[in-house]
Structure 1
Amino acid sequence: MAPAFHPAIFGDFFINNVQPSPKESDEWMEERVDQLVEEVGRMLEVCKDDVVKQMNLVDVLQRLGIDHHFEEQIDTILKNIHRAEFNSSDLYEVALRFRLLRKQGYWVSPDEFNKFKAEDGSFSSDDITNDPKGLLSLYNAAHLLTHNEKALEEAILFARHHLQLLRGNLAYPLDEQVTRALEIPLPRTMKRVEVLNYIFEYSAEEKMFNPSILELAVLDFNILQKVHQNELKEICQWWENLSSDIRLDYVRERVVECYFCAYAAYYEKEHARARMIFAKRCMLFSLLDDTYDVRATLEEARKFNDALQRWDKSDVSLLPEDLKRFFLSIISNFREFEDELEPHEKYRNSYNIKAFQILSSNFLQEAEWFHQNYIPCFTDHVTVSLQTGGAIELPVSLIVGMGDIATKEVLDWALANPDAGRAFAEVARFMDDLAASHSGRDKMDVASTVECYMNEHGVTREVAEAKIAGMAEDGWKSMNQIRFKHRAFLPFVQRIANLCMSATLLYHGKKNGFSNSLELKDMFESHFVNPIPLNHIDYD
C-alpha cells in the first residue's frame, strides 16, 4: 500500500495568482537598480586602500545577496587581499578574512589564529571570551575547515561554548546572528535565507550601514522574486500537465520544493534556463525514486530500468500502462531539455541522459535489496545510496543548462562521480537517513545507512546515528577542501555547495523537510510570495 504523502502545499496557487506587474513599476525598479549598482560599485573602488573596509563591504554585499552585481570587482578584491600581507590583532578581522578567502577558494592557514592562543595552544584570553563579535566571526570562519584540521575543530568547540554562555546578554542584531549560527553556521546557511534575515538587521550595523546598499538589496530581492514567481507559475503548469498525463497517484507532489533546490543553487536572473531545467530534473528524480520505492514490483522495476538504459520508445510495450506513460514522459521531457539548448550545446543532453540512467540503475539495486529483504554491508549501501542521493545526477543536471562556461571538460568531470558530487550526496543522504532514523522510515524504503551500520557493527541506534552524523560533517569538510583542489571548477563547485546548504536546511533537526514540507510553507512564502515592503527603505 502506497504511503500517504501530504498534497502539494501550494496547490494551484502560483498558476492562478501570479499576474504580470505594471510595466512602469518594473521599469522604474530596474532603472533605480542600475543607478544603485553604479553607486555601490564606486564604494568598492573608494575603499580599495583600506582592507578592513573592503572586507566588511564584500561581506555585507554577499549577505544581502547583491554580490552578483559585482562579481568581477569582488574577485579582484579578494585576490589582492590574499596576496597582500595582513597584520591585525583583531579576532573579528582575522576570522572575516579567513572566511571570505576560503569561501572563494583561496587557501588560508589555520595558523592565522595562533596569535590568539596561549602557550599551550588553547584559546584562553579574556579579551577573546568577552568579544562576542570576534567569537562569532571565528565560529563561522572555522566551519570552512577541511579534513585533519584539528585546530579549527577546537576553535569551533571553543567559540560555540563561549557564545552559548553569552546568549541572552547580547544586543540586536548580534543576538539574532549568534542564535542562527548556533543552529546552522553562516558558511552552511543557504544564501537567500541569510538575505531575508540580514536585510532587516543591516540598518542596525551602524559602522557599515549605507542606505543605498539597503535600497539596492530590497529592490533586487523584489525584482528577482517576480522572476521566480513567473518561473513557479510555469513549472507548476508543467507539473499539472505532466501529472494529469501520467496519472501517478502515489508520488510526492513537491514541485515547489524542487524549484526551491534549484533556486538555492542559482537565484540570479541570468541562470533562468539552468534553474528551470534543474527544477524539472529534480522533480523527475523524485518521481523515479517514488516509482521504484512505491509503485513497481521487482519485475516491473527491472523492465523499467532496462527500458531507460536502452532509451528506446519501442520498449514501451514491455511496461504496465501507468509506467508506459511515465517512460514516454521522461523521453519527451529530455527531448524538451535538448530543445532548450543552443545548437552548439545540444551534445550536453547525452550527459543529461547518462546521469539519469546511472541514477535508475542504482534505484533498481535498492529495489532488489528491499524486495529480497536483504540488508547490505555498510560499504555497499553507501556506494549505492550516495548515487541515489544524487552524487552524479544532480551535478550533471545542475551544469547542463548553464552558459558557455559549462564545457565538455566540466561535464566529463561531473559525470565521472567528482569529489564535489560525492560530498553533496554525503551531506544530503546522511542527513536524510538521520531524519528517517528519528521519525521512522517508510515500509517501502530500503534499510538506511543507520540500520546497515547497526546491523553490521552490532551497535545501538545512538552510536550508529553519531557515526552517520560524523560522515555528514566529513561531507562538508570535503566540500570545503574541493574549493582548493578543483579551483578550475570553482563556479560549479560553489553551485554544488549551494545544494549542500539547501539539504542542510531541509533536513535540519533530523526532519525531512522535503517529504514533509508543511511546516516550511511560511518559509517558502517569504521567498516566493511576500515581497519586502518598500517602506523598509528610508528614502530620506
Structure 2
Amino acid sequence: MSRPNQMQSSSSDREQTHLDDSGIKHEEKVKSITGFLNNVVSEPVESLIIVDMIMRLGIKSLFQEQIKAILQWQYTHFTSLNHGKDDVYEIALRFRLLRQEGYYVLADVFEYFKDRGKGFIMKLEGNAKGMMELYEASQMSIEGVDILDEAECFSSKCLNELLTCNLDPEQVRMIESTLRYPYRKSFARSLAPLSFVNDMPAANPWMEDLLEVANRERRIIQSLHRKEIHQINMWWKELGLGEEMEFVRDQPLKWYMWSMAILTDPSLSELRVELIKPISLVYIIDDIFDVYGKADELILFTEVIERWDNACAEQLPQYMKKCFKVLSDITNDLGNIIFEKHGRNPTRFLKQMWANLCNAFLVEFQWNASGKLPQADDYLKNGIITSGVPLVLAHLFFLMGQNIANQSMDSKKEEVPLPNTIFLVAEILRLWDDLGCAQDENQNGYDGSYVECYLRENQGSSYQSARKHVMELISKSWKLLNKECLSPCPFSAPFLEACVNAAKMVSLMYNYEDKHGLGLLQDHMKSLTYDHETL
C-alpha cells in the first residue's frame, strides 16, 4: 500500500514561519523567557507559578530543560521548602508539579494542615486559591495514601460551599472548572485558558511575554495540525475503505483527535500521522463486529487474523478481504518504519495484538447474540481489550522505541511485556464509556455495558449505586496509573506522558451532552486547529 510522503518535521515549518519579523520577535521572547527561567531556578514560589502556567498554556516543549532544572531543585529541597509553611497553595502546587513529572514525593507534607489527625483545619475553608490547588494536588493520589483522599473530600466540600457565596462570575467559573476538569484528568480545562490567566498575579514581569509566546506558538501548532489533517484526509481517501464499507464510521477527524491528544509535542508530527492508522482500523473492525458482520463471517475473519493467512482470506466476503489487505499492509508498513528507526521489527507481535482484539470482539458478539450477560469482571477483562487501547498504545510503544533494544524480535513466540500503564488507560476508557452507556451518533451497534452486567449480577442495586461503584473503579485505576508514572520507571517520560494524555482524553471524548452531542470535543478540536481566542 502506498503511503503519502512523510511530513517534514515541525522544526522546518517553524523555521519557515520565523522568516518574518514577527517570527524573529517570537524567538527573542522565547530566549528572554528561557533566561528568566534560568535565573529563577532557586525561587521557591515564583518558579513554580511560571512552570504551572507554561504547562497549562501548552508550551512545555519550548522550555523542557529549564522546567527540569527548576523541578529538580524543588525536589532536592522539598523537605526544607515545606517545613513549617502554612501556605497550602504553595505546598500543594509544589507537590502536584513534582508528582506530575514523576518525582516520588510524600503526601505527608499535608499533615501540617490537619488538626491533630482529626481532619483538615477549618480555617482553610475560605481560601479559594489554596483549596483549588489542594483539590488539584489530590488528583495525584496513589493507592494506600488516605490523606490525599481526605484532601479531595475537604477541598471539594469547601469549594462547593464557596459557590453558594457571593462570588464574581470569574471566580465561580474558576472553581467550577477546577471541580469538573482537574488538570491531571482532563483536557477540557484548556478550553478556558483566559480563566486561568486572569487568576494569575498581575505583577509578574514575565506574564506579557509568556502570553505573546503562547499565542504565537498556538498559531504555529494549529497550522501544523491543519497540515496533518490534510495529510490524513488524503491517506484515508486513497485507502478507499469509507466508500467500500459504507456502514463503518467515516470519521478521520475524530480519530485524529486521539492522536493529537496523546502526542502533544509539536516535534512528534510524523508519529501523530502514523498512529491514526491503527486507531482508524480499530474503529472500522469494531463496526464490522458490532454493525454489519454475520456470525460465520466474523468467525472466519477472526481465524484469518489469527493465522494471518492470505490464502484463507480469499474465502472472506469482499469487504472483509479489503479490510484484511489494508490491515496487513499497514502492519507491515509500521513494522518497517519501526525497524528503520529503532533496529527491531515488532510485526509478529503487532499481528498477535490484532488477533487478540478480534478474538475479544468475537467474544463480545457471541455474548450479545446469546442474550446472556457475562459476569461484570469477565465483561471488564474482555472490554479492556475491545477498547482498542492496548493495541493502539502497543503500536506507540514500539514507534517511540521503548526498550526495544532489550527485546528479542526474532523469536517465533514473541513475548514483549507491555507496561501496566497501557491496561490501566484501557480500563479507564472502558468504564468511562460504559458509565454513560453512550452510543456514537453514527453507529447503530450495541456491545454491552459494565453497568448493565453489574446490575444484573447485583440484584436490587440501583443505577446510582452502580454508577458510584464504577466511579470508584475509575478512581482506583487513576491511582494505579499515577503510581506507575512515578520514578523509578523503566519507560521514558514521553511515553508515560502519552499514556496519561490518552487517559485525560477519555473524559473529553466520552463527555456526551444532550442528544449525544460532543460539544466539548468539538470545541477542543477547534482550539487546536483554528485561532479563535487571544490570551
Match for residue 19 of structure 2 among 20, 23, 27: 27
SS in 1 for 2:446: coil
Q: Deviations over 1:447-477 (max 9, x none)?
A: 3111111112213333222212211111111
Match for residue 498 of structure 1 among 483, 498, 501: 501
Question: With structure 2 as the length reference, what TM-score do the two structures score?
Answer: 0.87
SS in 1 for 2:36: helix
Residue 79, structure 1, aligned to residue 79, structure 2: no
Residue 132, structure 1, aligned to residue 125, structure 2: no
Give how far 1:512 is off. Answer: 10
Give how far 1:509 is off. Answer: 6.2
For the structure 1 residues 40 and 410, does the alpha-carbon distance in structure 2 shift closer, same or farther, using more than 3 Å as the test?
A: farther
Q: Deviations over 1:369-395 (max 9, x none)?
A: 222223112221111111112352122
Instruction: Tell me how far apart the structure 2 counterparts of residues 531 and 349 of structure 1 sit (CA, whole Å).
Output: 42
Aligned to 1:177: 174
Residue identity in the other structure for 2:376 = F
For the structure 1 residues 460 and 194, does the alpha-carbon distance in structure 2 shift closer, same or farther, using more than 3 Å as the test?
A: closer
Unaligned 5+ runs, structure 2: 1-12
Question: With structure 1 as the length reference, what TM-score do the two structures score?
Answer: 0.86
Unaligned 5+ runs, structure 1: 1-20
For the structure 1 residues 83 and 486, does the alpha-carbon distance in structure 2 shift closer, same or farther, using more than 3 Å as the test?
A: closer
Contact 2:438 2:512 in 1 (8 A): no
For the structure 1 residues 194 and 447, does the alpha-carbon distance in structure 2 shift closer, same or farther, using more than 3 Å as the test?
A: closer
SS in 2 for 1:318: coil
SS in 1 for 2:314: helix
Match for residue 360 of structure 2 among 359, 362, 372: 362
Aligned to 2:193: 198
**Which residues of 2 match residues 361-510 of structure 1 at below 5 A?**
361-402=359-400, 407-409=404-406, 416-436=417-437, 444-458=445-459, 459-484=461-486, 487-491=489-493, 492-508=495-511
Give how far 1:352 is off. Answer: 3.1
Aligned to 1:258: 255
Residue identity in the other structure for 1:382 = L
Match for residue 210 of structure 2 among 190, 210, 213: 213
Q: Deviations over 1:255-296 (max 9, x none)?
A: 111111111111222211211111221111111111111111
Contact 1:438 1:510 in 2 (8 A): no
Contact 1:40 1:213 in 2 (8 A): yes
Percent identical residues: 23
Instruction: Tell me how far apart the structure 1 counterparts of residues 153 and 307 of structure 2 sit (CA, whole Å).
Output: 52
Contact 2:291 2:444 in 1 (8 A): no
Residue 297, structure 1, aligned to residue 297, structure 2: no
Residue identity in the other structure for 1:432 = D
Q: Which stretch shows the higher mean deviation, 63-72 or 23-32?
A: 23-32
Instruction: Tell me how far apart the structure 1 counterparts of residues 233 and 438 of structure 2 sit (CA, whole Å).
Output: 32
Q: Deviations over 1:136-187 (max 9, x none)?
A: 0101001111112222112111111111222264457544322211112121
Instruction: Tell me how far apart the structure 2 counterparts of residues 524 and 33 of structure 1 sit (CA, whole Å).
Output: 25
Contact 1:293 1:445 in 2 (8 A): yes
Instruction: Tell me how far apart the structure 2 counterparts of residues 438 and 248 of structure 1 sit (CA, whole Å).
Output: 20
Q: Deviations over 1:201-233 (max 9, x none)?
A: 426621445211111111111101111100001
Contact 1:427 1:504 in 2 (8 A): no
Give how far 1:511 is off. Answer: 7.9
Contact 2:390 2:422 in 1 (8 A): yes
Instruction: Tell me how far apart the structure 1 counterparts of residues 181 and 341 of structure 2 sit (CA, whole Å).
Output: 41
Aligned to 1:40: 33
Aligned to 1:149: 145
Residue identity in the other structure for 1:158 = F
Give how far 1:357 is off. Answer: 2.3
Residue 59, structure 1, aligned to residue 63, structure 2: no
For the structure 1 residues 304 and 426, does the alpha-carbon distance in structure 2 shift closer, same or farther, using more than 3 Å as the test?
A: same
Contact 2:380 2:430 in 1 (8 A): no
**Which residues of 2 match residues 222-261 of structure 1 at below 5 A?**
222-244=219-241, 247-261=244-258
Residue identity in the other structure for 1:505 = L
Aligned to 1:10: none
Instruction: Tell me how far apart the structure 1 counterparts of residues 415 and 216 of structure 2 sit (CA, whole Å).
Output: 35
Q: Which stretch shows the higher mean deviation, 30-39 or 465-474?
A: 30-39
Q: Deviations over 1:462-521 (max 9, x none)?
A: 3222212211111111111111266232522221010000001122368897xx546743
Give how far 1:320 is off. Answer: 0.7
RMSD: 3.0
Q: Which stretch shows the higher mean deviation, 203-212 or 174-183?
A: 203-212
